[in-house]
Amino acid sequence: MTTASHNESAVGGTAEARHRVIAIDGPAASGKSTVARRVAESLGFLYVNSGAMYRAITWQALDQGADCSDRDAVLALLESTEFTCEESDGAGVIGLNGAVAGDEVHGAEVNANVSRIAAYPEVRDRIFEVLQAFPKKADVVMEGRDIGSVVFPDTPYKFYIDASPEIREARRRAQGLEDSIADRDRQDSTRKAAPLMIADDAEVIDSSHLGVDDVVTAVRERLAAKGVDEAKSV
């Protein structure tokens, strides 16, 4: 983790009006992170990766030697953690006691435990509050599992990026990352609290046989049809 000293109050302003939220949900390794970042950059919106927040909490729990399947231990950790909204490298991120996580959150141990941590309703509640704060300050592209279904169900801009399990497994292998996609799919889809689902009004894009540029173009075209096509500074 690194100390977030440069922008303590980057996000979470007091403005009552909410800025626009483009929700991009989908299963692990569907390509949604790359697409979401590219769409955010092209529109000048803030990019928010909610999965990275669940990963940061998981990493913190592992770093402190907590057993991720021990709910009480995880809740004790939550109690002793101050959660803040930060901005780092053009992205909205979570601060845990003033520090933001780095690449360590993509390690095999975090992959193996993050779905368990993300299933605790108390963890989801804390992250929900952090996610809700970002569009008080800026237009955002936010990616995750439940952004269009639970976090911002009233946004008119919802996408669900999918790809076949085989293709998603192959993408992770090509990245050299150890990640049991099938396990995470099962845990993310069957948990009680805010499971992975396709919101009724989401535009579904199957990226199995599409390149990143194609998916970004498809998203931008659908957004343009809804009047979201200007580059706007945040």
> Rule CB under 6 A: which residues touch ligand DC?
28, 50-51, 54-55, 114-115, 118, 144-147, 184, 188
Nearer residue to ligand DC within complex by CB, 28 or 43: 28
In order, the DSSP letters of 81-117 are: --EEEEEETTEEEEEETTEE--GGGGSHHHHHHHHHH
Nearer residue to ligand DC within complex by CB, 20 or 32: 32
Structure-token pair, residue 137: 């300050």
Q: Position of tokens 């991009």?
A: 24
CB of residue 175 vs ligand DC: minimum separation in angstroms?
A: 12
Work out the number of other CB atoms within 10 angstroms of the CB of residue 89.
7
Nearer residue to ligand DC within complex by CB, 28 or 234: 28
CB of residue 62 vs ligand DC: minimum separation in angstroms?
A: 14
Report the alpha-carbon distance of residue 6 to residue 69 in Å, rounded: 35
Nearer residue to ligand DC within complex by CB, 183 or 229: 183
CB of residue 127 vs ligand DC: minimum separation in angstroms?
A: 8
Report the alpha-carbon distance of residue 117 to residue 70 in Å, rounded: 10
Nearer residue to ligand DC within complex by CB, 44 or 104: 104
CA nearest neighbour of 207 among 215, 216, 199? 215
CA distances from 208 to 23, 38, 171, 180 (A): 20, 18, 10, 18
CB of residue 213 vs ligand DC: minimum separation in angstroms?
A: 21
Nearer residue to ligand DC within complex by CB, 3 or 175: 175
| Nearest-5° Cα angle at 52, 37 to 24 | 45
CB of residue 225 vs ligand DC: minimum separation in angstroms?
A: 26
CB of residue 50 vs ligand DC: minimum separation in angstroms?
A: 4
